[in-house]
Structure 1
Amino acid sequence: MTAIEDDPPGLVARAVRRLLLLLYRMRGWKAAGEVPEPRRFIIIAAPHTSNWDFVNYLGLTADLGVRPHFMGKLSLFRWPIGGFMRQMGGIPVDRTNASNAVQQMVDEFARRAEFMLTVAPEGTRGKAKKWRTGFYQIAMAAKVPMVVGLMDYGTKTGGLGPLIWPTGDFRADMTRVFDVYKNCIPKFPERAVRSIDDILGTEEGAHG
């Protein structure tokens, strides 16, 4: 399959990213570290405990000079905002079947020379009991690594962790993920999933 590149963001999308970067810096945030190469990986966006996480994350990625992608339901990509959503990095996904959503993202990785897909495994900014594991299924099927997205409210620094390749041993791989997160302070620590056992539950049997 021929690799494709994203169209450049339009005037409105560029203005929004500049505004978010300005807001990010005005609030005292700064980026730390480098972007892993090659730029084809899953970004694990956690802990997700506040609406500010999204604003700060977009500011962070603009600061790092990367254009991440995210999944969105099909209705968000219709007129009049469909074009803007795509320019901001949105990928329309048919969520009627979870396995189809995974395959759609696998296909996107196959089509793109550069693709950094952001997934919030907690699925909510409230108190989450466990993580959804779609991000892991995509990484395994697409044969791409995972990267921990860090937003540390203690130091007001953000960045991307090292490449973590999925092995099929979910517990072992998540142990490595949580080792990266252990010193990262979320905005509301009481809402965050902080234990490997919290995210496993019935999923452990599915992933080994």
Structure 2
Amino acid sequence: MRHPSTYQFLPTRGNKFSRWVGRVGLKLFGGWKIIGELPDIPKAIIPVAPHTSNWDFFVGLCVKLALGLRLSFLGKHSIFVFPVKGVLTWLGGIPVQRHSAHGVVGQIVQQFQEREQLVVVIAPEGTRSKVTEWKKGFLHMASNANVPVVPVAFCFATRSILISAPMEVGDDTEAALTRIKSFTNKATGKNPELQ
């Protein structure tokens, strides 16, 4: 597991204690191991799949702590209110207005343009329920902001977090989606019947 101090560009956060908490959490949740390494880049979108259980959040939180990462996630602007606003922002939450004139994609592209470092984690299924199609907004965000995607898969069968090499999206979002799914389909979710 790479030490956060060795990253020059990837946003990091935490200390020895928080990294220890993350590692202990991964052990307590069944001995999870991390396979692969995040690239040392300042901006990216991390699509995490399959997303079939609330346990995905807790495993992801432990990974974030263990690796000492500063990651962001999207949330409805209406939940960013006192008294939880400060906590959500500290955790990396970005409030978005779903009905804004620029749409969620435009809002996140603007965030990428305004920040020197930003890594956004997204569950492309958009729900823990079974879906036939992924939401493709994250691909348009990556394409319009000209940032790579770094697919991550949680495999409950092997207790492995699989990290892909970065992928450029470009203009062909369908081809990019196929590449991402071919990586994440290697993993088995907590509730495989919902994949």
After TM superposition, the score normalised by the length of structure 1 is: 0.79
What is the match of residue 24 of structure 2?
22
CA distance in 2, matches of 1:125, 1:18: 29
* 1:141–1:21 distance in 2 versus 1, CA, 3 Å: same
In the other structure, the counterpart of 1:54 is 57
Corresponding position: 1:169 with 2:147: no
Letter matched to residue 151 of structure 1: F
Aligned to 1:120: 123
Matched, 1:105 2:114: no
Q: Per the alignment, do residues 22 and 91 of structure 1 end up closer, same or farther by CA in structure 2, a change over 3 Å counting? A: same
Query: Are 2:82 and 1:79 equivalent residues in the alignment?
Result: yes
**Alignment check: 8 A CA contact 1:31 1:64 kept:** no
1:22 and 1:67 map into 2 onto residues whose CA distance is: 19
Kindly report structure 1 stretches of 4+ aligned residues shifted beyond 6 Å.
none
Which deviations, in whole Å up to 9, do the C-alpha atoms of 1:78-135 show, x marking residues without a partner?
1101000001010111112484211111111112222110111111101112111110
**Contact (CA 8 Å) 1:35, 1:64: kept in 2 or not?**
no
Unaligned 5+ segments in structure 2 are 1-10
Q: Kindly provide the amino acid, as one letter, of the partner of residue 27 in structure 2.
A: R
Change (3 A) 1:31 1:125: same
CA distance in 1, matches of 2:22, 2:80: 21
Contact 1:139 1:145 in 2 (8 A): yes
Measure the CA separation in 2 of the matches of 1:98 and 1:120.
Answer: 23
Shift of 1:176: 1.3
**Alignment check: 8 A CA contact 2:46 2:152 kept:** yes
- Provide the TM-score with structure 2 as the length reference: 0.84
1:30 Cα shift? 2.3
Instruction: Report the alpha carbon displacement of residue 20 of structure 1 after superposing the two structures with TM.
Output: 5.8
CA apart distance, 1:55:
0.9
The gaps in structure 1 that reach 5 residues or longer are 1-5, 193-208
1:26-45 C-alpha deviation (Å, 9 max, x unpaired) = 12112222111213111102
Question: Which range moves more in the overlay, 101-110 or 80-89?
Answer: 101-110
SS of aligned partner of 2:94:
strand
Task: Assess if the C-alpha contact under 8 Å between 2:20 and 2:66 holds in 1.
Answer: no
Task: Kindly provide the amino acid, as one letter, of the partner of residue 60 in structure 2.
Answer: Y
- What amino acid maps onto 1:121 in structure 2? P
SS in 1 for 2:182: helix
Counterpart secondary structure, 1:113: coil
Alignment of 1:1-208 (within 5 A): 22-27=24-29, 28-97=31-100, 99-192=102-195
CA-to-partner distance for each residue in 1:37-67, whole Å, 9 max, x for gaps? 2131111021110000111111112222212
Contact kept in structure 1, 2:39 and 2:166, CA below 8 Å: yes
**Structure 1 counterpart of 2:80, one-letter code:** F
